[in-house]
Structure 1
Amino acid sequence: MKRMMMGFCASLVALVAQAGEAPPPVVTQWYGLTVSGTGPYYRMRLPPEIYAASQRSDLGDVRILNGAGEQVPFSLEAASVPAPIQRAVLAPVNWFAVPTAARTAGQGRLGVLLGADGSLRAELGAPAAPRASDDTVLVDLGREAAVSALRIHLRGAQYQGRVRVESSADLTQWHAVGEAELLNASANDKQLRQERVALEGLRQRYLRLSWPDGMPEIAEIASETLLAEPVAGSGAAPLRWQAAAQVRAGSQAGEYVFASGGVYPVESLRIDLPQPNTIAKVSLQSRDDAKAAWRGIATGTAFRLQGKSGEERSAPLQFEATSARDWRILVDMRNGGLGSGLPQVSLGWRPAQLTFVARGSAPFRIGAGNAALTAVAQPTGELLMGAHPETGIATLGVRLPMAQEKEPRIAASARHIVLWMTLILAVATLGGIAWRLARSKPTDASQ
């Protein structure tokens, strides 16, 4: 009898432990899955609805269930794109020194003529070389191309000074682009040069250079264009673009804040300025939530310029993929900022590859939306067991109603109730046995 009681008590303890367990956490949004093919594996690019529903930056709350409500194994493989190989191409450009006196007096003859095709030519009788009184240089890039930098090759042994750069599409309206320090020094048969002026992909045909510290002796000016050559055979998913949510002005001048609307792995950001003929230096920052500190993501120049061939806009900012939700743009206000209106922001991201095993019967469904869940996705290599099995295609269906979203919780609650009922019955049975043992002891003693 003693052994029986000990075994019963052990069973009772196990039941109590099971009854005390909290129901497993569930996700808040479920979507149906449609599968085609023979399987046993199915693949899909993770849709934006799941990125919007997920509450974890690593997508650890994603779950896939079969028709019986059982979890099925799956893997998530983040999209990766090898960085393109960039090659700098230099091309000599036409440039012309402009006399200071003619420019300040507003004379029409500056020693430069504008051809019918838009090219600049030296006027007959204009000096062939820059003079000491010249402090401005006009540069004709030849076409409106994305120029990454200007290379100003200097003559002479010694020069150190600043150059300021302005751009224009029609030689009448000029916009400040930037400033750089040039250096040409030599000593002990060694030479030190700094002749590059960064333009960050500016698309304007004409440039105007001015020299606050005095004009150097220029040998040649060349444009630098970066050619990006993608790595062949990468097989990466194409970039998807979507508008940022809730773009609004921040608390300080030149601050614009917005939200991504999900845990999208953003790797590129496009800024469409509100007013034409605008150039501004911008800094991009992000954070995971309102309690976290802002961290720098990228810097660059945003522009929107009206030219003869149409409107030119700056290329998107590119950076390492991040799943932050909160973003902000800080604009350098020294040149007037963006003017009136709000910028339009688009986020570029690549979806992860999802692969799951079709264990059990259909219909399958996918869900996300609970930060308390732990990640259960497996590495793709382990899921496929190193083989190359047949793989079908899965597509996202409609969002399931709330009743189906609560099915896992209802099942857990029913199990919880059954355990408690079993526990109560066990306690009653134990009490009955104890009562019978207590009554039988006097009888045994009398015998």
Structure 2
Amino acid sequence: MDKRLLGVPAILAILAILAILAILAIFLARGSALAGTTSDDLPQRYRAAIIVEQAAPFVRLPLSPQVYANSRSAGLADLRILDAGGERVPFALLAPRPEQTTTRQQWRAAVLYRLPPRPASGEWLAPVDLTLADGRLTLRQRGGPPIAAERSPGWLVDLGERAPGEAAPRALRFEWTGPSEFSAPYQLETSADLRTWRAAGSGQLIALAAASGALTQPDAPLPESVERFVRIVWRPEARPPELRAAQAGHADEQRTTLDPATSLVLASSPEPASAYAGEDARRALHFDLAARLPVATLELLLPAGTRVLPVRVQARQRLDEPWQTITSTVVYRLERAGGVAADRSPPLVVRRDLRYVRALPDARATAPAAGEVRLEVRADLASVVFAAQGTPPYTLATGAERASPGALPLPTLVPEADKERVRFGVARLGTFAELPEAAQQDKTAARNAALRPWLLWGVLLAGVVLLAVMVWRLARARGGAPPN
């Protein structure tokens, strides 16, 4: 037998191996390329009409939970706004603005009492007597001759009784009759009962005459823990004014909600079976938010009647993830007699993205039936603002995987956005419709993705069989040849 013929099977085997490796490389490269593709040509599966209710050069469109449910790219990257001709319309995402807190100083009249001279020894008596009657503190000025101004070392200030929950005043503002110029350093002391006093800071009241007008410093700051009574005592070097009135300054904070959260009320649902369900799944109150939403607060709504329910609140993003405990709390609803509205436990502040939520009632408390409990979710949903260009009507499209971000930065889209915001137009979303061709493409892509591993295994098995045949033929040829 010709020795050159013995090399043919070897060459065929090498070629087969190379072919198998080439086919595998093609399949792997194709799968990797598809997995990493980001394209604007990918099909948008869902579309909804944009109904402009107030026209403007820039129109604000609040996004609904359905947008988050239909979006298939992280961070709403697959959102697109199209005009009537299918041309893209530039837009930007607007995150909800936080609450705006403004602080105003409100001034209330305080009562002044002239202090008697400080004794050389013994207790320094107050110019008033404090009595308790019917649960209220009352003051009565002591009798006797009036205290001379030149002998008084300062003043007693009654800030008044505070209502429950009312914040303490933060400053005193004085008015005086004269002189026109003075400098009066002082020491402050505070007390709740006119007996025990503690230091409350120091400062200086000033009045100066100038060509542009009088320069004055009439305010005395107070500590956070100030009590009802304040004693202002002049320092020995002071040239004090003659006070005629005092006012206590209370900080009044007002919170304004600029972008209200979206409220969703959900009924409980059976917990889907998973490896992490456990024994708790049978007694858990399970809620599916239908999309991953930026949740601000959660509130369990209990049925009518007086109910107290300790619960452990848990959350997760996917069904194949273990539950993570957010907090343990007590949910209650207290029924009052006489038609008074029931007291409810405050909402639970969350401030995180959530999809699935469950509440585990404590085994030591009787939980209501799952169908009787609802969950109110308040979510900080984003908005989009788009330029009203192109041909209306406009459409919002979403539902493409691996899409490149379609939103522009807000400063790029809207010049002087803070000033322009108050002039934004208003729009709302219509009902979403599913595009049949896009849905079919998604099904085809999912089927191909499911078949790809089987095709790869088939190619591998065929390659193994081919190699086995080549090795068998090579071994047979070597075995039948005469000795060299």
Shorter-chain TM range is 0.3 to 0.5
Taking structure 1 as the reference length, the TM-score comes to 0.48
Q: TM-score, normalised by structure 2?
A: 0.44
Larger radius of gyration: 2
